[in-house]
Structure 1
């Protein structure tokens, strides 16, 4: 192919973009025809397959994106868990309340902590440490929160029964 020397350019564009790149944009940046850009994408994807590499090019959201091959998702997830940022003090305090008082509403957490917990609770839900368990059967039907299997894994627990008892913790204060 006349433009095969541009495969590295396409790969670099997709890598640098981080989001789907429309085919016309790729063609414009490389100053080639759209059909040739499509051929380059196809050829590059064939290279990824034939060379047993960890990447593939997928068409999503009106463009093309460089992605990890689906069969390698579990290995990449391990890296993501290792690199996750530590929880803030507010998030740790919030998850402690959820763990010991679940099922618990946001308002109940805020009463115990004495501060708003919107951001901390959102962070915990996004990280999969806390989930919605349902609704409390009271006025307004507030959401009930509880911990997840991910919480148990992250904190090295087999079950919630392994959490220390609150009474034991209160009597052990210095």
Structure 2
């Protein structure tokens, strides 16, 4: 499909969209309902190439296609932000890492791995952020909810699917969480140093004390401004 008008239509729609656009929505832009996915994809790939030397890039994510600023532009765009970035505690980020790399997991699984009780507020924080959701229930007493990550989590990481997550135990875990714009203590220190694969099970190394996870003196991680203020969480 080599249609200059189709390229302009897709470009305009994607630039005006407030969220990633799935293929089904992109196809609605054209009268020809029989338009094949591969034909639209060809135009999207041409559009990607045409933006190669610009400050924006067209990417495919878990929930669709969107334009976003290049990483090299972030240092400049941050100067326009006047809001304070929200902050998450170490407990919240460790819980997110466990869910992401070990899903589906129950709250009990997370407590076994971290060695401390996981408060409902931590799970609620991740659910409200749109990164975590209940995707089923485990057979057994009480049928505990199974937690997994969402399409929003993949979108925020710039990924299309879970199989694009870095291998468990690799230093790239820190880089992956770092793409969520987590600041403060390096994400690599938290994720790569504290999470490892011990043959058959995920292990969180180190000692977790009340002081380490307390709201009074939390280990802080910050995400980018657009997500609003979130108070530090205790364990």
| Higher-RCO chain (CA-CA 8 Å, sequence separation at least 6) | 2
Greater per-residue helix proportion: 1
TM-score when normalising by structure 1: 0.47
TM-score when normalising by structure 2: 0.36
